[in-house]
Amino acid sequence: MTECNGRARKSHPTAPSASTRNTSFPPRPTAARTTATTSQPAPNTTPDAYRQHDPAGKAVLKAAHYLPPHEPPDDTYPLHLTTGRSVYHWHTRTKTARVPELNDAAPEMWIELHPDDAHSQDIDEGDLVRVSSRRGEVEAPAVLCGSHLGLVFVPFHYGYFDQTDPGRHNRAANELTRTEWDPVSKQPVYKVTPVRLAKVADAEAGGRPVVVTDPGLAATEESAGRDTPEEER
């Protein structure tokens, strides 16, 4: 887990050591899985089926040559967008948004920028900004804690199922991304989208603050230092 101005964000776990890694393959099933039409174990879930697929008991890795993105940044869309998750939410929050502690920690989306990229367009912490691609746009408060110049980060958890205004389609990260996927793994291409940035409003003059309980995500130093009232906890 990593932090950005106090905000916890998902990171890759450390690989277990050889002494702690489970080297047995396949794992012993705790209960026989069945198909919808028979009481016999599904054929691809049995230990014998796993061994027949790969007697060595190891994953099959497919090597591939590097290919550049089909849509690289240019003069019109000079920044690079990547999407990802917050530690507080899972996918589109259909479950985690119903947990008060998790939803209070990150109830709204934000746009994470490198401070130099933000200051070059007179954007300060908490200002309402618009990120646009050739497909769409999103608007959210800016959080100036990006670690890579030229990179914009947007969490993908926030969509429309819980919006009071169904016509507001400027909240979901995939309004920006391409409809494209790897032909082998079928993994969508959500990490390499060229975008541009525009300031919409100052934080003090219409920009929506980042409302969170984690002090590092507060839009201003004043709100970061304010304690949460007892009745709101």
pLDDT digits (tens, 9 = 90+) for 35-76: 444 455 555 667 777 677 777 767 777 788 888 989 999 999
Residue 167, pLDDT score: 67
> CA-to-CA distance for 125 and 41, rounded, in angstroms?
56
- Does the pLDDT of residue 170 top 60, yes or no? yes
Q: Give the DSSP per-residue string, 170-185.
A: -S-GGGTS-S-B-TTT
Listed residue (147, 115, 111) closest to 132, CA to CA: 111
Length of the chain: 233
- Does the pLDDT of residue 117 top 80, yes or no? yes
User: Which residue would you say has higher pLDDT here, 132 or 161?
Assistant: 132
pLDDT digits (tens, 9 = 90+) for 176-186: 999 999 887 88
Distance, C-alpha 66 to centroid of its chain: 24
Could you give the domains of the chain?
Answer: 83-228 (2.40.40.20)
Average confidence (pLDDT) over 208-219: 41
The tokens 């429309």 sit on which residue?
A: 160
Global pTM value:
0.65
Residue 122, pLDDT score: 94
User: Which residue would you say has higher pLDDT here, 33 or 192?
Assistant: 192
pLDDT digits (tens, 9 = 90+) for 74-86: 999 999 999 999 8
- Does the pLDDT of residue 223 top 90, yes or no? no
Phi, psi (deg, nearest 5) at residue 97: -65, -15
